[in-house]
């Protein structure tokens, strides 16, 4: 179990997940947190990562650094997403082993599951079918990370655990018009439509796919609990346990942003997986439950978006 003076490395501390983990550690009184920007430490560079671990010798590692994006980015930068994510996680996991890290937590993604896996998604469904083609390279990298943690546990006795979050949103999200995920992308679209007095907003797809969302500070609470109390081989799903249609999501965001025009669904654009809901019974059994409602979370996310304009 981590003590407040233990040396902790948060990889990816400026991203949405890493910054939430950092906030949680500070809130809990941790004082010896090591962070590096991508400019200071290129995690795809084996030598730089080796030197960092040899110099700093962290005792605990939160592996929240990754190359991420929405459907469009995942599909467009297929080679880059596979290469960069594999390099980042291989370097960090292997150097953690070489330098005696006590425990590492690897963050995956719900896109690791087969496109047609039974819903809600159970951990046991991993590798039981074909992946969603649009984000297959990213999913392959994340599956490799899970399996690497398990293999290092098997061969070297490393206490490396993995968690698979559902769709995340919150402070420090990416609101890029093309390369962001659906919720932050819609926040930007509705805000810009409101400011520019547009009559309507186009939304990709039919609006029918069902998606689950988790506020990132709720995720950080779960991750902290897992790091302190969970030491098993199997990975854990992290989600809110509730889903809704993209159309209903759009209506909620539209109301919170205050846009008064119409919604136009562009059925020529990809929908992605028809439904993606996580089975969260394993993390629930550890005593964790998401605390932030979607309405509260979207309101907080919109305020964060406005601060970054």
Domains of the chain: 8-169+213-239+280-290 (3.40.50.720)
Q: How far apart are the first and last CA of the chain?
A: 40
Cβ-based burial of 102 (10 A; exposed 0-12, middle 13-18, buried ≥19): middle
Exactly one of 138, 152, 160, 302 is catalytic; which is it?
Answer: 138
Confidence tier at 132 by pLDDT (50, 70, 90): confident
Lowest mean pLDDT among 181-185, 230-234, 249-253, 271-275: 271-275
How confident is the model at residue 189, as a pLDDT? Answer: 96
CA distance 209 to 230: 33
CA within 13 Å, CB half, 39? 1
How confident is the model at residue 70, as a pLDDT? Answer: 67
Q: Is residue 256 scored above 70 in pLDDT?
A: yes
- The stretch 96-125 carries a mean pLDDT of 96
Q: Choose the most confident range, by mean pLDDT, from 21-30, 72-81, 108-117.
A: 21-30
In sequence order, the β-bridge partners of residue 26 are none
Lowest mean pLDDT among 73-77, 127-131, 292-296: 73-77
138 catalytic residue (yes or no): yes
CB 30 within 8 A of CB 74: no
In sequence order, the β-bridge partners of residue 63 are 11, 106
Q: Is residue 259 scored above 70 in pLDDT?
A: yes
């Amino acid at each position: 179990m981590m003590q407040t003076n233990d040396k902790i490395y948060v990889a990816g501390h400026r991203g949405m997940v890493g910054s939430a983990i950092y906030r949680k550690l500070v809130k809990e009184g941790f004082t010896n947190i090591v962070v590096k920007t991508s400019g200071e430490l290129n995690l795809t560079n084996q030598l730089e990562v080796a030197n960092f671990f040899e110099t700093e010798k962290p005792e605990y590692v939160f592996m929240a650094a990754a190359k991420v994006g929405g459907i469009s980015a995942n599909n467009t930068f297929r080679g880059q997403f596979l290469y960069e994510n594999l390099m980042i996680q291989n370097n960090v996991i292997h150097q953690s082993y070489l330098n005696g890290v006590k425990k590492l937590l690897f963050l995956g993604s719900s896109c690791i599951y087969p496109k047609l896996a039974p819903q809600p998604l159970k951990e046991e469904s991993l590798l039981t079918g074909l992946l969603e083609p649009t984000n297959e390279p990213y999913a392959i990298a994340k599956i490799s990370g899970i399996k690497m943690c398990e293999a290092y546990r098997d061969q070297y006795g490393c206490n490396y655990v993995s968690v698979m979050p559902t769709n995340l949103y919150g402070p420090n999200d990416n609101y890029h018009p093309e390369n962001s995920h659906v919720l932050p992308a819609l926040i930007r679209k509705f805000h810009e439509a409101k400011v520019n007095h547009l009559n309507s907003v186009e939304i990709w797809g039919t609006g029918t796919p069902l998606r689950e969302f988790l506020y990132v500070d709720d995720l950080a609470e779960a991750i902290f609990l897992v790091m302190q109390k969970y030491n098993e081989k199997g990975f854990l799903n992290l989600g809110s346990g509730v889903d809704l249609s993209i159309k209903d999501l759009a209506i909620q965001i539209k109301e919170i942003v205050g846009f008064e025009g119409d919604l136009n669904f562009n059925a020529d654009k990809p929908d992605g997986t028809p439904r993606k809901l996580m089975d969260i019974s394993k993390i629930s059994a550890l005593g964790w439950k998401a605390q932030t409602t979607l309405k509260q979370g979207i309101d907080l996310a919109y305020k964060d978006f406005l601060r970054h304009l």
